[in-house]
Amino acid sequence: MSKCTIDHSIDDVRKKLEEQRTFLPKALYEKYLLFLNEQRDQATLNEVFHLLKKYDLASEEVREERNAGLRKLI
């Protein structure tokens, strides 16, 4: 699988977070609301976006892997 070359803005990431809100653990969602209130580098924004992308369609096992990735960034 090739790596995405699109840079996602903070607004893109916030929108994706909001779209996945009902599927994310509440505590993780709330931490990311605060996390995204601070300046973040482009690589971090891109990584968060891709961890959130299609989160709702992921299996429970994949969600846990993504949750771990999201927690690691905080």
**Which amino acid is residue 55, in one-letter code?**
Y
Measured from the Cβ of residue 30, the count of other Cβ atoms closer than 10 Å reads 12
pTM over 0.75: yes
Structure tokens at 16: 């994706």
What are the φ/ψ torsions at residue 6 (nearest 5 degrees)? -85, 130
Structure tokens at 25: 């653990």
Domain extents for the chain? Answer: 10-73
Reduced to 3 states, what is the DSSP secondary structure of residue 57?
A: helix
Per-residue confidence of the chain (74 residues) as pLDDT tens digits?
A: 346 789 999 999 999 999 999 999 999 999 999 999 999 999 999 999 999 999 999 999 999 999 999 999 99
H or E element that contains 15? helix 10-19
